[in-house]
Amino acid sequence: MPTKRTVVGVIGSGTESHPQLSEPLGQWLAGQDCDLINGGGGGIMAGISRAFAETPHRQGKVIGIIPASSPCDTPEARSAHAPATGYPNPWIDTAIYTHLHLSGTSGKEMGSRNSIIILTADGIVAFPGGAGTRSEIQLALEYGKPLLILNPHQEWDEFKNTPAAMVATADEAITWLTKNIFKTG
């Protein structure tokens, strides 16, 4: 019987890729025989996906949970279904297209794909971001998922008194992931 591959969820800004964090972390994850899951868009999602996908000899896949461009609440709307503009990014291996269109400050509502990302992952890495990332961090905490927050400029200090771990660098993130998700350190 095959063993389940570890799935690491990465959340963060949809506009900023933070290459000093996403590139080394994405390359390292690609060497861990794991799959990567994210929202399939730009910013961190594209940065980490690219770093992971372009790493030679990687074994895992990049999975993107893709939002709809608009509500799919009627037969007519469903017949016109399309992904949101800019989705999926070019480095997504497996795009899971959804009918879910909400994000940002609505990221915890039932019409958001954020719960799928969080629930699918064995552990979550949160990069700097905005309201959508905040909602995903909150969901990870509420669902009790192992959560690592990259907090290089104290942007996520509001989560200091939670079960989440906080680090400032990619090297610190790799150390935490090794011990807490891959359990090899």
The domain containing residue 100 runs over which residues?
6-180
Question: Is the pLDDT confidence value at 185 over 90?
Answer: no
Return the pLDDT at 49: 98
pLDDT band of residue 172 (cuts 50, 70, 90) is very high
Average pLDDT of every residue of the chain: 96
* pTM attached to this predicted model: 0.97
Residue 65 lies in a domain: yes
Mean pLDDT for the stretch of residues 78-101: 97
Alpha-carbon gap, residue 155 to 157, rounded angstroms: 6
pLDDT digits (tens, 9 = 90+) for 114-153: 999 999 999 999 999 999 999 999 999 999 999 999 999 9
Query: Above pLDDT 70, what percent of the chain?
Result: 98
| C-alpha distances out from residue 168 to 37, 49, 54, 176, Å | 22, 20, 24, 11
Tokens of residue 73, six digits: 């609440």
Mean pLDDT for the stretch of residues 9-33: 97
Residue 124 lies in a domain: yes
Return the pLDDT at 3: 79
Give me the number of domains the chain comprises.
Answer: 1
Residue 88 lies in a domain: yes
Tokens of residue 182, six digits: 């891959």
Residue 170 lies in a domain: yes
Contact 112, 131 (CB under 8 A): no
pLDDT digits (tens, 9 = 90+) for 107-125: 999 999 999 999 999 999 9
Say which CATH number the domain at 21 has: 3.40.50.450
Give the angle subtended at the CA of 82 by the CAs of 143 and 90, to the nearest 5°: 75
Residue 1 lies in a domain: no
Residue 185 lies in a domain: no
pLDDT digits (tens, 9 = 90+) for 52-65: 999 999 989 999 99
